[in-house]
Amino acid sequence: MAGSGWKLRASRKDSKSASDKDADVVDGSKLRELALAAVLCLLSFQMQGYYTTRDIALVVIQACSRAVSINQACKDMKRCPAESTVRHHISKLRMREMERSVNETLPRWAKKLLPKGRLKIAVDLSYIGYHGKAKKSQAELKNGPAKDGTTWFHVYASAYVILYGKRYTLALKYVRRHEPLTHVLGCLLNRLEELDVNVGCLYLDRGFYTIEVISYLKRRKKVPFVMPVVRRGKKGGTRALLRTKKGYTTEYTMKNAAKHTEVSFPVHVVRIYLKSRYGRHGSECYGYAIYPLGVVSLRRVFDEYRKRFGIESSYRLMNSSRARTASRDPKRRLLFVAVSFILINTWVYVKWESLSVPVRGRNGRRVLDELLPYMTVLMLVSTAINRIYGVVTRIVLRP
């Protein structure tokens, strides 16, 4: 009943006169212009002639909103630039400059809406499969476990805010082949410092569970973090830590005999009753490396860490609105990933600003997610761009 009530209110708003405030209306033109203003910041090249940088940006946004190639997007619109024109101007972009402009653009709305206090930040890597040879250097690609028929990937690291209604992607980094995780993590943390983001706790994936990363975070102004413990060892090691009937906390020392390195950190072990979760029954032990120990409630560490999976959802959304390409150019691929994250951040911003209502409680507002799914945003943006360039409605074979 509650859901239908919100929809009824939304339909009444749609019937209001044109004198209503813009903040009360969410349409394709508003979404298009918000995304366009951000994407234009990524395209630093100059153009001469009939078409402008705005036209190139709109074609890229259209390709991302439909998850098609630039070629297909241009074919389906009547008056847009040719596909060769778009590709020519995109090739002018420079990798370092684009990485910098991407990180300046992503938090443009977050600066306005994020609170000044300590924030929970999730960091993870997104692997996008690649088939073929690198364009210039093998360092452009990173190998990993087989996925989608390949073991080579373009890899992107991102920092994401874990906060109700304001789940923004704040920073993005293109990861080279031999780049250590500590350097990747350091670049993201440096960017968060530039944004004056106070990291209350860093939630990391199990891929960061290494001696180098933990030692780095303990040295770097003692950045608080939580990450899952990886089961290792046949009888001893972390496997022995997770062999218990009840939760407990202990100090654990991880060692690497080959490199003669080690690091000590607190580990909290919890036993969770699955209750058909993941299709399983019974109970299972989970271990978490926590530093410092009081950064998160030990009784709620399992539930708190689960909130981190919002970053996984952001990757799924990013892949659903990422333009497709067979190009070997890493600049073009980074551009499509960045535009997709910009569309997601636009969606988050519009929902909080225009589709939320005041409520009591810690968050202060309730976001009406059911009114504007992400797929609806993509449809509205695509339709608004089609109004500018027109849509091909018939194919004529000329003799």
Distance CA 157, CA 163 (A): 19
- pTM of the entire predicted model: 0.90
User: Count of CB atoms within 10 A of residue 70's CB?
Assistant: 25
3-state secondary structure of 267: strand
Lowest mean pLDDT among 106-115, 224-233, 270-279, 364-373: 270-279
Query: In 3D, which of 230, 138, 223 has the Cα closest to residue 188?
Result: 223
Q: How confident is the model at residue 23, as a pLDDT?
A: 52
Query: In 3D, which of 135, 113, 164, 96 has the Cα closest to residue 310?
Result: 164
Q: How confident is the model at residue 324, as a pLDDT?
A: 95
> In the structure, what pLDDT confidence band is assigned to residue 209 with cuts at 50, 70 and 90?
very high
Lowest mean pLDDT among 99-108, 111-120, 157-166, 178-187: 111-120
Check: CB of residue 117 under 8 Å from CB of residue 127.
Answer: no
Distance CA 66, CA 313 (A): 19
Distance CA 199, CA 16 (A): 43
* pLDDT over 80 at 201, yes or no: yes
What tens digit of pLDDT does each residue of 280-312 get? 777 888 999 999 988 898 889 999 999 998 889
Distance CA 297, CA 333 (A): 40
Question: How, if at all, do strands 225-228 and 198-204 pair?
Answer: parallel
Distance CA 195, CA 168 (A): 13
Q: Which parts of 221-338 are beta strand (E)? A: 225-228, 248-256, 261-273, 283-291
What tens digit of pLDDT does each residue of 244-259 get? 888 899 999 999 989 9
Tokens of 43: 């395209």
User: Count of CB atoms within 10 A of residue 383's CB?
Assistant: 16
Is the link from the previous residue into 399 a cis peptide, with omega within 30 of 0? no
